[in-house]
Amino acid sequence: MMKVTKQQLVQAARLIDHYSQYQPSPLSLKKFIAFGEKNASEKASFIFLKKEIPVRLANIMKEINLLPESLLMQPSVRLVKSWYEKSFEEVIEFENVSIESTVRVAEFCDALVKIRNRHTNVVETMAQGILELKDNYGYDHVIQNNIQYFLDRFYMSRISIRMLINQHTLLFSEKLDNHPRHVGCIDPHCDLHDVAKDAYDNARFLCDRYYLNSPEVQYQCINGSEHSVPIEIVYVPSHLYHIMFELIKNAMRAVVEYHGPDNDLPPIHITICKGKEDLTIKIADQGGGIPRTSADLLFQYMYSTAPKPDPESGTVPLAGYGYGLPLSRLYAKYFMGDLVLSSMEGYGTDAVIYLKVLSSEASELLPIFNKTSLKQYSSSIPAADWSNPNYTSGLHFARQFSTASKRKYSTMPARGYSTMPARGYSTMPARRYSTMSPCGCSKGTLNDSKCSETKFDQNNMSDVVSYRTSQREPLFRLAGLFIR
């Protein structure tokens, strides 16, 4: 009995090693839509996912193993790790299943639903693990840096795997309802003003409950490319809602705290502007701004100036976990967008969300486990090379977060992230099973989006739990940390 268990462990580790040698295949919103719109084929999706999900899981599982031992020992982190191991095991059971086996293909859909449910509480459980580490051991700059680097990649990986699972299950499970206009969880005509209004209304509800007062809002929509046409893009409304809700909550809290809950409050200005390339949303408040010395801290997990929420209170807090900004930026970056804060201390803050207008440019940004990422976990903080050490660490953080857009046309992964498929990619032969190099930068993909076997372009796929579905679960929507 003991021997079998050991063998199973060795076998599982071997499979994780194997799949982690491939790099994930990023998909654009256009591909997701094209796959789901007409005659979506469950079999084609199955062929793609039975390789792609193990690849994405294995890539991030290798990074979990590189976390400091003191963190890996924490009960919550062990729990999260065990969920990943179980899910990998379950999905790998379909590795050799033929598409002719209709029953097994249908079972795959059920298996994905089970995996999604298992991972529902990953964000808060991992957050709990880090709190456990802090309480039991405290942590230094090196660990803090590693954790920040890891969490960005870990949560991004989770967003992406959920996107794949949700698209498959929403498209092919008969048990799940979907919004008639949506393709999986993507809205091909996502109305930005509608989502902003929804986010404002819900944030205001929380703010009123907490402070008995809340600022008004003023909207401005500028359609720079097609005047007087409502602003729409292809997007995942639940992602957009999440980002705007978090930013509006932050803006409201700043305004009320700065001016006092019993005084007149200046409104929040939300500007939505569509150009040819960028869709920009600016949420501007007059909440007193943020000093420059705090600017580097804003996107750190657990950085918050709000009182720690009491989980026993049963009410949803307006702020306090310090996950609002870093997670919102991940959602923005996931499809090649960004989130930037610019502040004038003594006046207010502008939070600017950038999204891609063209769905073909909105490609997933995915972490890749390779030599570059490996090095991040073993490197220590460099010695100060400016007279003021804070200045040095400021530059360090800035570099760490500037991975997404700079090298987007390069074929080399920038600092361990997948890049947008380079424009010339389409003429390259499929790289399936080729150029494998353990932990090297030139990892192949198991699923090339041009791969003839998956026919992904012709058929298709798409994403996460629909925005409308999540509207039925107010707690999930309202508490920033408890994202799906």
Ligand X SMILES: Nc1ncnc2c1ncn2[C@@H]1O[C@H](COP(=O)(O)OP(=O)(O)OP(=O)(O)O)[C@@H](O)[C@H]1O
Contact footprint for ligand X (CB under 6 A): 246, 250-251, 254, 285, 287, 290, 298, 303-306, 319-325, 349, 480-481
Which range, of 65-73, 131-139, 147-155, 246-254, touches Mg ion by CB under 5 A? 246-254
Q: Pick the catalytic residue: 62, 239, 249, 333? A: 249
CA proximity to 152, closest of 72, 63, 237: 63
CA 442 to CA 437: how far, in whole Å? Answer: 7
Structure tokens belonging to residue 473: 């679960």
Q: Least distance from C-beta 118 to ligand X, angstroms?
A: 24
For the question of residue 277 being annotated catalytic, the response is: no
Segment 250-269, which members bind Mg ion (CB under 5 A)?
250
Q: Least distance from C-beta 59 to ligand X, angstroms?
A: 26
Q: Pick the catalytic residue: 145, 166, 250, 447? A: 250
Would you count residue 324 as binding Mg ion (CB under 5 A)?
Answer: yes
Q: Least distance from C-beta 349 to ligand X, angstroms?
A: 4
Would you count residue 127 as binding Mg ion (CB under 5 A)?
Answer: no
Of the two residues 326 and 367, which places its CB atom closer to Mg ion in the complex?
Answer: 326
For the question of residue 43 being annotated catalytic, the response is: no
For the question of residue 95 being annotated catalytic, the response is: no
For the question of residue 250 being annotated catalytic, the response is: yes
Would you count residue 328 as binding Mg ion (CB under 5 A)?
Answer: no
Count interface residues toward Mg ion (CB under 5 A): 3
Of the two residues 161 and 206, which places its CB atom closer to Mg ion in the complex?
Answer: 206
CA 165 to CA 145: how far, in whole Å? Answer: 30
Of the two residues 306 and 436, which places its CB atom closer to ligand X in the complex?
Answer: 306
Among 47, 151, 170, 319, the residue binding Mg ion under the rule CB under 5 A is: 319
Q: Pick the catalytic residue: 246, 274, 361, 460? A: 246
Q: Least distance from C-beta 321 to Mg ion, angstroms?
A: 8
Q: Least distance from C-beta 37 to Mg ion, angstroms?
A: 36
**418 in Cβ contact with 366 (< 8 Å):** yes
Of the two residues 215 and 324, which places its CB atom closer to Mg ion in the complex?
Answer: 324
Residues at the interface with Mg ion (CB under 5 A): 250, 319, 324
Q: Hey, which residues are catalytic here?
A: 242, 246, 249-250
